[in-house]
Structure 1
Amino acid sequence: MPHLPASDALKRFRVIDLTQVRAGPTACRQLADWGADVIQVQMPEHMRGDDTLGGQDGSDYQYTHRNKRSITLNLKEADGIATLKRLIATADVVVENFRPDVKFRLGIDYETLAEANPGLVYASISGFGQTGPYAQRPGFDQIAQGMSGLMSVTGLPGGGPVRVGIPIGDLCAGIFAAQGILVALLERASSGKGQWLHTSLLESMVYMMDFQTSRYLIDGEVATQAGNFHPTSIPTGVYKARDGYMNIAVFGSKIWERFCAILGAPEWITDERYHDKASRSANRDTLNAEIDRRLAEQDRGYWITRFNEGGVACGLINDLAEVFDEPQVRHLGMVKEVVSQRLGRQRLVGQPVQLTRTPSTIARAAPRRGEHTEEILQELGYHADDMARMKSQGVY
């Protein structure tokens, strides 16, 4: 079937997805979820050069590639490149995550494509950037986590570096790329010109270090592991009640006073060990032990109710099964359903931003490799005999 937009917001835009693995596909999924006609370009079945994310029937692949169409093209064949260029001539956006030199070798770099399509927005995602001493290195999420400093501040003190439990470098690079694409499209509306934009896993992760970078660049402080406790706001972290663990966040003097009152320790407000931020930092371990001792008198449910009613942020530490049992998660409608012709009914997490007039949906399940090839070729004006010849020659 033709383009089935998941939202009215971006339905006028066509995006050519030349990416593999996760960062690039994430960027394109963001655009597809808001209605863009995202056409995923994959190698033909007989080449099987891009089986990633656990295979095309895997849950990971299904989540990452929903709301897209798929065409197969053999980019090692001249006709494959010619067809791709013909497709790009109809597009607003191209997203690629080849090694930096590959696009130039294939003749599908921004400058070349912009000659025929000057309004083209061309987004490149790499491990380390398009130029520089590391540009040709292979990129991988955990490598970026380590090089950005993230793993040096994650984990328990003295326990060695720890990776984050999701591919945060890939995901952030993809989301930042999507943001850059939207900015470029907004700018194009006034200038009429496209442009080349690029990001990398390393840049994205350095940016995501956020206040830890300013602590170093402005204050000269090299952050270390703080475990489950906030490095500067105390007490904020993981605490243990009678029946298990929970998170408590105490930011500012007013909330500190509320926290002390609810915990039955109003004397802490004036105690010289705890009365201000600096003293609580100096006596962090003693304070945390005192807090745990008092929390052990009641279950988590009791404390979560009391703290939240009193204006102190507090919550459970859920596993994934518990996440989707949370009444607020259910209320927010984050789980969407879609039917895959091959795999049946699926439940997937939808977009976390709610647009009231042009909401995002999941309009179609992830496509099989080349599921829409002939449909898209027909849209480009290819006739049946052209397609038969191309198929016989292994172009798709």
Structure 2
Amino acid sequence: MNRWESIERKPAPLFAPTFGPLAGIRVLLNGTVVAAPFTATMMSDFGAEVIALERPKVKGDPARHQKPQIAEGDKHISGSWIQNARNKLSFSLETNLNIPESKEIFLSLIKNSDVWIENMVWIDKLGITDQMLLEVNPKLVICHISGYGTAGFGGDQRQINRPGYDPLGQSESGWGLLQGYPDREPYYAQQYVGDYMTGLMSVNGILMSYMVAQKTGKGQIIDVSLTESWMRVMDDNFVLWTQSQYLKHRQGVMQSAYQPGGVFKCGDGGYVNLGSYGKTAYNNVLKGFGIDSNKYSYEECSSSPEAVASPLGRELDGIFKKFFAEHTAQEATDICIDSKISAAHIKTAEEVFNEPHWHKRGDWVKYTDQTLNKEVEVFGIIPKLSETPGQVWCGAPALGQDTQRVLTDLLDYSQSEIDALKGKGVID
């Protein structure tokens, strides 16, 4: 009998405090930058106990080593790690299951988990199959996160085998070709926004599957691809193509079908994003800006691309631009807020952090980062729940800091057994 077969499953939480709606769920994470770890973080922020497996040979998750780094003395760690690795335990394990000791530990962890999240893509080369894990734990929810999907859900194997990164998903989904100016190369969104969106899609799939597993005793497999996540937020683009062969094109930062709509430069060099779709919103903007709505009627200036492009429409556009050029970005935004005009100052991270509104909502939290052993202040938890709110109970872990206690307290390894593993490339 294998060691993992003889151990008894221990319910969660064993290491995390009890809080939030996901208390009692244990998540095992085999994932690096960015979608898979973020999926786990969203769950851990609301009470799930997350054990993150990090490969010792490559010094853990590459997110630890991203630049720029935050330093404290001779210690340093990435800002991304500080923000996104909180509320997790770090377990140092070589996940090549062709190594017998690694296989014992990994399957023991699977037996004790409710959810397994991975974005390694080619798990078969590590000796892992979905069927193997479901035999160990029939109620397990398995979440595969990839660039283009996994073979179990169909597709072209050549596409499935491609490495996937956020900008590539934006490109392959059609989203990227809509960003930027028509006379320049397309843009793509920065800051891994697609990875984070994919993480949210994954959380949704996990929670739905977990509900089914609790009712039926049967786990299942989830396939979430970065590219398909981008495809899902393409709004009407695919319907327009399939039904009328109409393709949207990038139009820069200004709307061409109505006005005012887009990004306006202000007198202090700042920018305001203003949107006013529809006649009521249009008239509200003109009233707030003191512009004659009889002379510049909605029908003649904003009701269609032709109206926007008309001489009167272009004259009105000049008035809008002059208004913003005569005000600072904050002045223009304040006028818009007071007039209930939908507009926003395009802010730096510093300006967002200094906005009192977000502090009053409790959006910034402090905790001790485990690598730096230093208190840090970061963005907190959303969404906000009235009865079972999330919380941060520990900072981002140092590499492998929880290996010993997970082996001892969860998997019942003795100290002599742990000592015997050391130096073999299994846990160190």
TM-score greater than 0.5 by the shorter chain:
yes
* The one of 105, 112, 119 aligned to 1:90: 112
The 1:275–1:147 alpha-carbon spacing in structure 2 relative to 1, beyond 3 Å, is: closer
How many Å apart are 1:247 and its aligned residue? 1.5
Question: Does 2:93 match 1:81?
Answer: no
SS at match of 1:52: helix
Distance 2:258 2:207 in 1: 35
Give the superposition deviation at 1:369: 1.4
State how far apart, in whole Å, the 2-side matches of 1:60 and 1:275 are.
Answer: 43
Alignment counterpart, residue 293 of structure 1, candidates 322, 331, 341? 322
| Inter-partner Cα distance in structure 1 for 2:83 and 2:237 | 32
Look up the equivalent residue of 1:274 and give its one-letter code.
C
Give the match for residue 71 of structure 2.
none
Distance 1:268 1:361, change over 3 A: farther
Aligned: 1:160 with 2:185 = yes
Counterpart code for 2:189? V
Q: Distance in 2 between matches of 1:241 and 1:277?
A: 26
Q: How many residues align?
A: 393
Partner of 2:73: none
Query: What displacement does 1:211 show?
Result: 3.4
SS at match of 1:57: strand
The CA distance in 1 between the partners of 2:78 and 2:217, in whole Å, is 41
Shift of 1:3: 1.8
Aligned counterpart, 1:358: 388
Q: Distance in 1 between matches of 2:256 and 2:217?
A: 47
Contact 1:85-1:108 at 8 Å conserved across structures = no
Deviation at 1:199, TM superposition (A): 0.8
Any gaps of 5 or more consecutive residues in structure 2? 1-12, 67-75
Retained in 2: the 8 A contact 1:97–1:126?
yes
Per the alignment, residue 260 of structure 2 pairs with: 235
Q: What is the 5 A alignment of 1:187-336?
A: 187-230=212-255, 232-243=257-268, 244-265=270-291, 266-270=293-297, 273-274=300-301, 276-277=303-304, 279-283=306-310, 285-336=314-365
Q: TM-score, normalised by structure 1?
A: 0.92
| 2: CA distance, partners of 1:157 / 1:204 | 25
1:172 aligns with 2:202: no
CA distance in 2, matches of 1:6, 1:347: 23
Amino acid in the other structure paired with 2:65: G
AA of the residue aligned to 2:289? L
Change (3 A) 1:236 1:32: same
User: Offset at 1:22?
Assistant: 0.8
> Counterparts of 2:286 and 2:129 in 1: how far apart (Å)?
61
Provide, for residues 115-160 of structure 1, a one-character-per-residue CA deviation record: whole Å limited to 9, x for no partner.
Answer: 1211100000011111322001111111111111222111123121
Does structure 2 conserve the Cα–Cα contact (< 8 Å) formed by 1:245 and 1:300? yes
The one-letter code matched in structure 2 to 1:150 is W
The answer to whether the 8 Å contact 1:240/1:296 transfers is: yes
Asked if structure 2 preserves the Cα contact closer than 8 Å seen for 1:268 and 1:275, the reply is no
Match of 1:57 in 2: 77
Look up the SS of the partner of 2:426 in the other structure: coil
Instruction: Please report how far the alpha carbon of residue 268 of structure 1 lies from its aligned counterpart in structure 2 after TM superposition.
Output: 4.4
1:382 is aligned, of 407, 413, 416, to: 413
Question: Secondary structure of 2:319's partner?
Answer: helix
CA distance in 1, matches of 2:51, 2:114: 12
Partner AA of 2:143 in structure 1: A
1:115-126 maps to which residues of 2 (within 5 A)? 115-126=135-146
Whole-Å Cα distance in 2 between the matches of residues 53 and 210 of structure 1? 35
Are the structure 2 counterparts of residues 301 and 373 from structure 1 closer, same or farther at C-alpha, using a change threshold of 3 Å?
A: closer
Cα separation, partners in 2 of 1:268 and 1:197, compared to 1, 3 Å: farther
Say if 2:261 and 2:274, in contact at 8 Å, map to a contact too: yes
Rounded to whole Å, the distance in 1 between the matches of 2:49 and 2:36 is 16
Distance 1:2 1:192 in 2: 22
Q: Distance in 2 between matches of 1:260 and 1:352?
A: 36
Partner amino acid, structure 2, of 1:336: V
CA contact (8 A) 1:173 1:204 kept: yes
- Contact 1:123/1:177, CA 8 A, preserved across alignment: yes
The answer on 1:346 being equivalent to 2:346 is no
Conserved in 1, the CA contact under 8 Å of 2:17 and 2:393?
yes
1:317–1:50 CA distance, 2 compared to 1 (3 A): closer
Partner of 2:43: 31
CA distance in 1, matches of 2:48, 2:285: 47
- The CA deviation at 1:274 is 1.3
Q: Which residue of 1 aligns with 2:6?
A: none
Matched-pair contact (CA < 8 Å) for 2:60–2:399? no
Shift of 1:271: 6.5
Task: Provide the residue aligned with 2:3 in structure 1.
Answer: none
Q: Which residue identity does 1:61 align to in structure 2? A: W
Give the Cα separation in 1 of the matches to 2:277 and 2:242: 24
Instruction: Work out the CA distance in 2 between the residues paired with 1:188 and 1:57.
Output: 38
Whether contact under 8 Å (1:6, 1:363) holds in the other structure is no
CA RMSD of aligned residues (A): 2.3
Residue 38 of structure 1: CA displacement? 0.4
Give the alignment's TM-score, normalised by structure 2: 0.85
Three-state SS of the structure 2 residue aligned to 1:170 is helix
Secondary structure in structure 2 of the residue aligned to 1:166: coil
Q: 2: distance between equivalents of 1:5 and 1:222? A: 51
The one-letter amino acid of 1:357's match is: E
Which secondary structure state, in structure 2, belongs to the residue aligned with residue 345 of structure 1?
strand
Q: Is the 8 A contact 2:31 2:118 kept in 1?
A: yes
